[in-house]
Amino acid sequence: MSDALSLLALFSSSFLSATILPGNSEVVFVTLLTTVNTAPWLLLVVAIIGNTLGGLTNVIIGRIAPVPKHHPRLELAMKWLQRFGSPALLLSWLPVMGDLLCLLAGWLRLPWWSVTFFMLLGKSLRYLLVMVITLKSISFFS
C-alpha cells in the first residue's frame, strides 16, 4: 500500500471512528505503525486530525439535532458536561460515551474553541500513548 493510500485509510478510519458510526481506528493506527515505512509522527498527526474532525462532526450534529431522549448513558454524559463543561471532552475518545459527550457539547452549545481544544488534547494523548506503547513493544520484542 502506498504512503498516500495508507494515510487516507488512517484518516478515514479515524474520522469515522469518532462519529456515531462504529469503528476502531486504533487497530488501523497500530497496523500502519508496524507495517509501513511512513514516519510515526505523520501517522500520529493524521490520526489525531481525522479523529478530532469526526468528533467535531458529532458536535455539529448535536447543534442541529432535536433535544435528545433520556437514556442512562446520555444522563451520565449530560451530568459530566454540566459539571465539568468543555474539559469533559478530554474523554471524547471513549467508546460510546465519547460520542455522547460530543453530541451533547453541541446540543448545549459549548464554546467552539474550548470544545476543540479539549477534544484535540484528549484524542492526542490517547493516540500518543498508543504509539509509544506500540513502538516500545516493537523495540522490546525485536
pLDDT in tens, the chain (142 residues): 688 999 999 999 999 999 877 788 999 999 999 999 999 999 999 999 999 999 999 999 999 987 667 777 777 778 878 889 999 999 998 888 888 899 989 998 999 999 999 999 999 999 999 999 999 999 888 7
Q: Which residue has the cell 469526526?
A: 54
Number of domains in the chain: 1
3-state class percentages of the chain: helix first, strand second, coil last, to nearest 5:
80, 0, 20
Q: SS3 of 93, please?
A: coil
- 81 neighbors 40 (Cβ within 8 angstroms): no
The pTM of the full predicted model, rounded to 2 decimals, is 0.90
Per the structure, the complete domain to which residue 33 belongs is given by: 3-141
